[in-house]
Structure formats: C-alpha cells, structure tokens
Amino acid sequence: MEKWYDVFGRRFVVRSRRRDVMSLVGSAEAAWSRLACGPAQRADVEIDVLVEAGAPGSLREVQAFANETFFLNASRHRLITGHRAGRRWQVHVQSALDDAFRIVHAMVVPTFLDLIERRGLSTLHAAAVACRGRGVLLCGETGSGKSTSALALVAGGFDFLTDNDAYLDLVRGRPRVRSRGGTVALREPSARLIPGLPALGRFPLRGRGRHRKRQVEVHAVRPGARVESAPVRLLLFPWVGAGRNVRFRPLSRTDALARLLASYPLGGSTRGVVHDEWAQGQRFRRLSELVAAAPAYAVSLGPDLEGFAERVRALLR
C-alpha cells in the first residue's frame, strides 16, 4: 500500500504493508498540510515503513537497498542512520515495535518534517492570519489560544491562512507563510468568547472526550477571508491569562526565537527517533531571519476579546 502527496511542490510517498500504519499516516495528513494526492512518477521523499523482526539478514538487505540515498533503521535497542547527499531522499523505517502509533508519530512524521526542511519548508505549531497582505503568526503550545486568537481576528476582518500548523519558506529573502486550509478547530467554551461567531450547532464536532472540537469553516464566519500566502510581519505568542482583557508585552529577539524553536509539531525531532543536524541548522537559520524581520509580542488572553483585532492592526502599521 502506498500514498502519494504534494506539499507545496515537494512530492513524497509513504509505503507500508501494514494497514494500521497507513491508517495513522492518513490521519496525520491534516497535521502536516492539506495534501493533494497525485500520480507522481518520482518522489522527492520516499518513506518505506518496514516492520520486521530485526533479524541481521533482513537488516543487511534493507541497508544494501537503501544506502544509495537515505537509510533509517530503528528497533527496540538500536538506531542506525546514514545518508549520501546529492540524490533524492529515501527513508526506510524498520521497527520491531508492534505499535503503529509509535512507528508513525515517533519515526515517520519527525523524519518527514526534517526532510521537508531540507527542501526549504519550515514547520511551526502555529496559526496564521493576514491583514492587507501582511501576515501574523500566532505561535504556542496546544491550548495556548492560537486557534481562538486566529478566529477572533478573522471575525474582526482579517484574512485566514492556517490553523495549528504553518509552513514557512523564504521568498526573495523574506519569510512567507503558506495557507493550508479553511477550517479552525475550537473547543466550544473558547468559541463562545469570539464576538460575531455564527451559531456553533451548524459546525460538526470531531474528536473524543476533552479533545472534541467544533470544526468552524472560515467562510461561514467571513466569506472570502482565505488567502494563499503572506509575508510574516508580526509574531504573537498567545496564552490564557488571569485578567479579563487582552494585554500585549513586547519580546526580545532572543526570547521570540526560543519560543519559535519550541513551536514544532511533536515537540521537534528531540522527541522523535531521528536527529537531522543539517536540517535543524537550516531551521534555526530561517527562524532567526523570521525574528529579525517581524516584531514579537506575548499576548495575555482574557474572556473579553472585544477590540483585539484593532489592537493587532495597530501593531502592523
């Protein structure tokens, strides 16, 4: 079984004989990007998930097959990596772990994100909006208020780019964020804080338990609000504060960079199996350019979001 995807012009394919692995890969699509499957003949990144017993014979076979591009082997007790530059990338995961979730989320996804980094796309755990072509990144941990802030800004007249995960590249040396959809996932208590939001009952509920969220379509909040990309001109780091009103505090470049480096899906490669030092170096360079190009603020969110959009517009001027 295999699935082909296109991530802003970077093609990749995931293959595995295990249905549970492929099912989890499919569920991870929304976390990576709104990916379009295509009948590509050649991929920039190939990920073959080989779940074996880890016998030495099969290890030699996989290694001999993959050494011409990129090879990753992981088992319960050891990790072997190797690569040869100058060719298309190929990733092979061999695991003795009988745990599809760990295989996909600790091995495949972080490896994929590092390889996409090699092709000029940095990934942040962030939402993004724009005002008159000027992009605003809303970065932070899960539950910090990124989605709530993004939808409140859309309701206040901003254009929408992405929720939860943002892809950044450089266009003529300037950081630019790409759009990856028109839906914002919100818990109902957070959604009720946003002035002017349509009745929540019209939006579907997805997830389980405390993770159940309303899938709010942006066009239902403000028709025509979605744009495809925008240069980043402002960084905001929202969090749920103790006060009632929204408060802004300027951040130094050093503080903003430290927060951005923590804003990575799955916590970054430090929680994964693979450490691609070259890709992480590229990521550090791009994020350093980002904090140099855009002022940053910590934003304390309260239950009263009235006037939030106007204050962000003032920061963009």
Answer whether residue 38 shows pLDDT above 60.
no
At 44-75, the pLDDT tens digits run 777 777 665 544 444 344 343 333 344 444 44
Banded model confidence at residue 95, pLDDT cuts 50, 70, 90: low
| Rounded mean pLDDT, 113-118 | 75
Order of strands across the sheet with 10-16? 2-7, 10-16, 45-50, 89-94
User: Cα separation of 8 and 162, whole Å?
Assistant: 14
Structure tokens at 287: 């994020």
Banded model confidence at residue 97, pLDDT cuts 50, 70, 90: low
What pLDDT does residue 87 have? Answer: 46
What pLDDT does residue 78 have? Answer: 40
Answer whether residue 308 shows pLDDT above 80.
yes
User: Could you tell me the residue ranges of all domains in the chain?
Assistant: 2-119, 124-316
User: Cα separation of 122 and 209, whole Å?
Assistant: 31
Looking at 28-32, 260-264, 295-299, which range is the least confident one? 28-32
At 281-301, the pLDDT tens digits run 888 888 999 999 899 999 999
Structure tokens at 82: 């190797």
Q: Which of 2, 7, 51, 9 is nearest to 29 (CA)?
A: 7
Answer whether residue 236 shows pLDDT above 50.
yes
φ, ψ for residue 246, nearest 5 deg: -80, 135
> Residue 200 CA to chain centroid, in angstroms?
26
What pLDDT does residue 31 have? Answer: 47
At 205-216, the pLDDT tens digits run 887 776 788 888
Banded model confidence at residue 204, pLDDT cuts 50, 70, 90: confident
Answer whether residue 196 shows pLDDT above 90.
no
| Rounded mean pLDDT, 136-140 | 94
Answer whether residue 179 shows pLDDT above 90.
no
According to CATH, the superfamily of the domain at 124-316 is P-loop containing nucleotide triphosphate hydrolases (3.40.50.300)
8 A C-beta contact, residue 308 and residue 189: no
